[in-house]
Amino acid sequence: MNAIEDGARSAPNKGGGGRREGRTRLNQLPEWTALGKHREQLGEAHLRELFAADPQRAENYTAQVGDLHIDYSKQLVTDETLALLRDLAAATDVFGLRDAMFRGEKINATEDRAVLHTALRAPRDAVIEVDGENVVPKVHAVLDKMSAFAERVRSGEWTGHTGKPIKNVVNIGIGGSDLGPAMAYEVLRSYTDRNMTFRFVSNVDGADLHEAVRDLDPAETLFVIASKTFTTIETITNATSARNWLLTGLQAGQDAVAKHFVALSTNAENVAEFGIDTANMFEFWDWVGGRYSFDSAIGLSLMIAVGPEHFREMLDGFRLVDEHFRTAPAESNVPLLLGLLGVWYGGFSGAQSHAVLPYSHYLSKFTAYLQQLDMESNGKSVDRDGNPVEWQTGPVVWGTPGTNGQHAYYQLIHQGTKVIPADFIGFAKPVGDLLPGLVAQHDLLMANFFAQTQALAFGKTPDEVRAEGVPEELVAHKTFRGNHPTTTILAAELTPFVLGQLIALYEHKVFVQGAVWNIDSFDQWGVELGKVLAKRVEPALTEGAEVEGLDASSRALVAKYRSLRGR
């Protein structure tokens, strides 16, 4: 039996899934030390040599999960590296924590919450209990309610205050209540009802709402107010402004709100206080983290756009990868592998960032979505017991769709001084409804996709450069060191089913890393301080109020701001 299936060797998951007191610190585990030694032994080993030594490397270092074909042969790893990484996963009880998550244990210890986004895509007959209650029937009741509502809006049966059908949907939310639906709406544009308009407003900068509504008819507009807590200042401020815009535009009273506002939230009290009929509230629960929530009620705008069937296909994709992560052995468990690769580069090669480079225009917001998923989850510097960590945790996640980045920042990846592991995501077929004349461009897009990972891995040696007749003084400039690690994720087509698979893959990858690093990937206390200070500073801007504790720099900036505003 592989060590990882045998449970933790250093310390089992003692804290009922939450705190894991008494465990050996990560960097004192023999498995960690072994990886460090192995890294030294690998030295300057080059991917050119690793491929030359193993003619089967491309086949051997390829995995499949659902529709996702994953080639990790261009990663700077050997069989020994992978075995040592799996040993580390065993020693840190990654699978023990995984099982605790799927069982509904309160593994988010600092908030004393279960972490059950996987229940959002569980089949109807599954049983998943939180505090002794099976949550699956509630999940499906909300999904059914969302489906019925989405159909009524899509068919024109749901009408606004003046009797006109809804043609525009404006989602107002921020962070996890915006990034997921906004990203997925872009990804699945070809599946959307092209006769309707969908907009996503998040920024408290009034320009965002202004641009979203300026050309819309309020009589045909539905606002979907997405906020788990229904206290987030940006969302409540924008929702209040939207309500004013609507009532002014319709020259109507509060009673018009019911037909033009729905809420997605866990907080019925605040929803009712805002004036939204709680019959038009779509519920979710505290065991769904904001950044893991877009397959909950938070996906309503997306469901209206693509229809309930496509939404459910997407949930099937999530579920497929959940099952893979839950059951696949360590050797073939893809989220485990991808998570461990990140641990490897962060821990032993000094990598500070991770690029996600989708070769699909429709994935233009995918990396921004992953930024919250990964960085809000694993941007932590204390472990589950509150001790400072002495190892790298979450990387800076960044990237934009190819081929644009090739003409902007790829230079730094190719010839800069930094270690930047990258994921390349591409599709064999172009999206269905492209104009016929544009379909042919897909091969050019994908030629770039394959060329980049080859160039990054194998580079160009000084001898190869010289052989092209390049003058000696330019040889160093035109040499590509190569050896830049990449994973290639290739699927036939970008469908709702495949999108669900992709997102679940990254969710579980982030989980694996948090488990190894022994941090709480499900809280986000780090965003609180800024929120509190913003509330304190606002009266200083508007009324010139004295703000206690404002530092000298901020005080001077506030004074400058006020003078620039003529106050």
Q: How far is residue 466 from each of residues 403, 462, 470, 478, 479, measured CA to CA in Å? A: 28, 6, 5, 9, 9
By CB under 6 A, is residue 113 in contact with ligand F6P? no
Residue 253 burial (C-beta neighbours within 10 Å; 0-12, 13-18, 19+): exposed
Among 290, 335, 421, 426, binds ligand F6P (CB under 6 A): 290
Instruction: Report the residue number, 381 or 454, with the smaller CB distance to ligand F6P.
Output: 381
Q: Which of 192, 147, 202, 142 is nearest to 171 (CA)?
A: 202
Of residues 37 through 76, those in contact with ligand F6P by CB under 6 A are: none
Per-residue x/- track, 502-531, ligand F6P (CB under 6 A) = ----------------------x--x----
- Reading the block at residue 259, the tokens are 């037909």
Q: Is 291 in the site for ligand F6P (CB under 6 A)?
A: yes
Residue 238 touching ligand F6P (CB under 6 A): no
How many Cα atoms within 13 Å fall on the side-chain side of residue 430? 15
3-state SS class at 91 = helix
Q: For ligand F6P, which residue of 2, 62, 190, 229 counts as binding (CB under 6 A)?
A: 229
Using the contact rule CB under 6 A, the part of the chain among 169-177, 335-343, 402-410, 475-483 near ligand F6P is 169-177
Catalytic site includes residue 484:
no
Closest by CA position to 70, among listed 313, 290, 334: 334
CB of 231 to ligand F6P, least distance (A): 7
User: In the annotation, is 531 catalytic?
Assistant: yes
The one segment of 160-168, 227-235, 471-479, 502-510 that binds ligand F6P by CB under 6 A: 227-235
Contact 180, 299 (CB under 8 A): yes
Selected from 176, 299, 335, 514, the binder of ligand F6P by CB under 6 A is 176
CB 47 within 8 A of CB 72: no
State which residue, 1 or 529, has the beta carbon closest to ligand F6P: 529
* Distance, CA of 24 to CA of 8 (rounded, Å): 11
Binding string, residues 403-422; x marks residues near ligand F6P by CB under 6 A: --------------------
* Residue 379 found at the interface with ligand F6P (CB under 6 A): no
Catalytically annotated residue among 418, 429, 531, 535: 531
Measured distance between the N- and C-terminal CA atoms of the chain, rounded to whole angstroms: 72
175 binds ligand F6P (CB under 6 A): yes
Rank residues 32 and 511 by Cβ distance to ligand F6P and give the closer one. 511
Q: How far apart are alpha carbons 221 and 262 in whole angstroms?
A: 11
Q: Give me the residues paired with residue 382 across strands.
A: 388
- Evaluate whether 456 touches 488 at the Cβ level (below 8 Å): no
Examine the residue annotation and report whether 283 is marked as an active-site residue of this protein.
Answer: no
* Spacing of C-alpha 351 from chain mean position: 20
235 is a contact residue toward ligand F6P (CB under 6 A): yes
| Residue window 448-487: x/- pattern of binding to ligand F6P, with contact defined by CB under 6 A | ----------------------------------------
User: What string marks each residue from 318 to 357 as x (binds ligand F6P by CB under 6 A) or -?
Assistant: ----------------------------------------
414 sits in which H/E element:
helix 410-415
Residues 6+ apart with CB under 8 A from 198: 168, 169, 170, 171, 185, 192, 301, 304, 305
Query: Minimum distance from CB of 162 to ligand F6P (Å)?
Result: 30
Q: Which residues are at the interface with ligand F6P (CB under 6 A)?
A: 174-177, 227-229, 232, 235, 290-291, 376, 524, 527
Q: Which residues does the annotation mark as catalytic?
A: 376, 407, 531
